[in-house]
Amino acid sequence: MKKLFKTEKRRDQAIVLFLAILLAGIFWGIVGPFNMTHLDNVTISQETITLEGGDAIQIPTSDIAEVSLIDKMPPVSFRLNGSSFKGINTGYFMLGNGEKCFLFLRNGTPPFIHIRCKTGVPAFFNRKKPDETRQVYQEILSVCNPKSNI
């Protein structure tokens, strides 16, 4: 009978490697989604708007072409580089029209803030409660007022 492993040491190494990969997968399965559910880190300053959670993006206020509050998201085709878990999407996605965008939102909880940039990808995001989203929108308008058409 042919031996699969030449030595007991190799067999033990294979078992340890398998267990390490299994434990890493279990750890990511527990911790990864937990990080995604914390989308409450929106920082607004005169220079930048920062969204932090499962993914992060910094939008220079000088790059903002338009800010709008929308009740319906445009169709999203697929995820490019990001995460989706329990109705929460963060990261880069492709819209139905073929445009790349950054999502930082809870699906099904309108309204959504849409930031169209002069050079970067557009961003869509919201907060847990609609009133919080409207408040953040007003804060963004106060910083980017000349650049907003609302």
Q: Counting beta carbons within 10 angstroms of the beta carbon of residue 121, is it exposed (0 to 12), middle (13 to 18) or buried (19 or more)?
A: middle
Among the ranges given (24-28, 51-55, 123-127), the one the predictor scored with the smallest mean pLDDT: 24-28
The pLDDT tens digits for 71-130 are: 999 999 988 888 877 888 888 999 999 999 999 888 888 999 999 999 889 999 999 899
Angle ∠(62,67,70) on CA atoms, nearest 5:
160
Q: Which amino acid is at 100?
A: K
- Mean pLDDT of the region 6-35: 70
Domain range list for the chain:
1-36, 41-147
Which pTM does this prediction carry? Answer: 0.71
- Counting residues of the chain whose pLDDT is more than 70, the rounded percentage is 81
